[in-house]
A and B are shown apart, each in its own frame.
Chain A
Amino acid sequence: MKPARKNALPEEQIALGTFTRKEAGKKVALGFQHVHSQNNCGKEDACARATEKAITSGKVAVYPWEENKESQTAIISSSNSRYEVIPAIAAGLKLKHKRGLRERVESVLEELITNAIYHAYTRKDGDEKYERKNVIQLEKSEVIKIKYFGNRQGYFISVKDCGGSMEFSDLEKSFGRCYGSGSYSQIDSKESGAGLGMYLIFEAVTHVKVVCKRGVSTTITVWISDEHPAKPENFSFNFFEEE
């Protein structure tokens, strides 16, 4: 696992504190692969401990919010299949009568899936293989796998592509655009998406974990808390690169 902040000690790779989303986004833009914000009045942050342990051991952390044996699965084989899969997942998570949460979950799924379809796969020259304006039929080796489950505390969603082209520098740039000075005015028409998708995901969820295996796969896993947003400071962002 490669630290993004070169030569930094393990404990210097994690930004720990009580942050606003904007402050946390700026931390990512500054090169912190791990940002933990919590306002638990001194109680131990189990997620931050898991991150510290992972950095020290060189492995990818498994967080308390990820643990469940009964996740359901879905497959995305084309850009149009998301129009059936996303509502089906929302129904599977029993969000029919929870409009606010349902919109948030559907929005996050839309961004995770389209991110995977249009950015994960590249041609031999390194350019992105698929354009947003086209209806895409993914090859068998490119299908996107989704896992999801819900409980009383919230909703887990994991989206995995088989491209593995995401790099931490992509997130540094997009968070820098969206959270830097003159924010939002840098939604650039020249660049596809301008990183707005990851920004929307980061703003909507409680925890984000990105695991990249270069050239093999990228898995983005999120946890969306069912709580009233009374604890906006309790969230985390973690990026791991598997070798």
Chain B
Amino acid sequence: MLPMDKFKMESTMANEKKVVYFKGAVDEDTDFNALLKNEGPLRLNFAGVTAINSCGIRSWVNFLKELSGKEIIYEECPPLIVRQMNMVPSFLGKAQVASVFIPYICDNCEHEKTVLVTEAQFKGGNPQVAETIPCENCKKGEMEFDGQPKQYFAFSR
């Protein structure tokens, strides 16, 4: 979590829907108020979040209360955000999770990779994801899911 990694929000249109991209570190200085100006469903992309501390979690949980009643969708959540969704249920609140990244690590060369999976593959807490995939780096080893699927997708139950 470096000063140059400071939080910023960027909005774009994707398939005629507005997506707000979160980038950088979420901490005590993060200001989410710009989101209040958005009308309609809020689609939030977490792929660019690099770190989050307890103050950042608290800020987000408190800010979610201000968005109460609004349709909120989380997409492309990296493992560090998935961890927060599992540890602090109010971090997710009533938002829908459209997609998450799952981490894999090679048992031979320790190459790491994240793979994007959609809601259809984990809805209801019964994940339908590959526990191993071939390693594209060493081409010898197998990349294992770096975690336990049921624990990783606990938020979806």
Using CB atoms and an 8 Å cutoff, list the residues of chain A in contact with chain B. 80, 82-84, 86-87, 97-100, 103, 106-107, 110-111, 114, 132-133, 183-185, 187, 189, 193-194, 196-197, 199-200, 203, 229-230
Contacts and interface: CB of A to CB of B under 8 A. Distances in A.
A107 to B, nearest CB: 7
A184 B55 contact: no
Given A99-B112, A187-B62, A114 B90 contact: no
Contacts of B2: 83-84, 87
A200 B54 contact: yes
A132 B54 contact: no
Q: 3 smallest A-B Cβ distances: which pairs?
A: A196-B54, A197-B54, A132-B28
Interface stretch (B15-23, B38-46, B119-127, B146-154): B146-154
Contacts of B147: 100, 229
Contacts of B55: 114, 132, 193
Nearest to B57: A196
A83 B4 CA distance: 10
Interface residues of B, number: 29
Interface string B43-66: 000000001011101100110000
Contacts of B58: 187, 189, 193-194, 196
B3 interface: yes
A199 B110 CA distance: 30
Interface of B: 1-3, 28-29, 51, 53-55, 57-58, 61-62, 79-80, 83, 87-90, 103, 105, 110-112, 146-148, 151
Contacts of A107: 51, 53, 80
Contacts of B89: 183-184
A111 B52 CA distance: 10
Given A103-B80, A229-B151, A111 B53 contact: yes
9 contacts: A97-B112, A98-B110, A111-B53, A132-B28, A184-B61, A184-B89, A187-B61, A196-B88, A200-B54
A78 to B, nearest CB: 12
A175 to B, nearest CB: 14
Contact of B103 (A100, A114, A183): A100
Contacts of B28: 132-133
Contact of B90 (A83, A132, A133, A185): A185
A184 B3 contact: no
Contacts of A99: 79, 103, 105, 112, 146
A86 B1 contact: yes
Contacts of B57: 187, 196, 200
Given A111-B53, A189-B62, A194-B58, A80 B3 contact: yes
Nearest to A195: B54
Given A83-B1, A83-B3, A229-B147, A133 B79 contact: no
A31 to B, nearest CB: 24
A224 B93 CA distance: 29
Contacts of A133: 28-29
Contacts of B51: 103, 106-107, 110
Nearest to A80: B3
A200 B80 CA distance: 12
B61 A229 contact: no
Given A80-B3, A83-B1, A229 B79 contact: no
Given A100-B146, A193-B54, A196-B58, A106 B90 contact: no
B36 to A, nearest CB: 16
A98 B79 CA distance: 13
Contacts of B112: 97-99
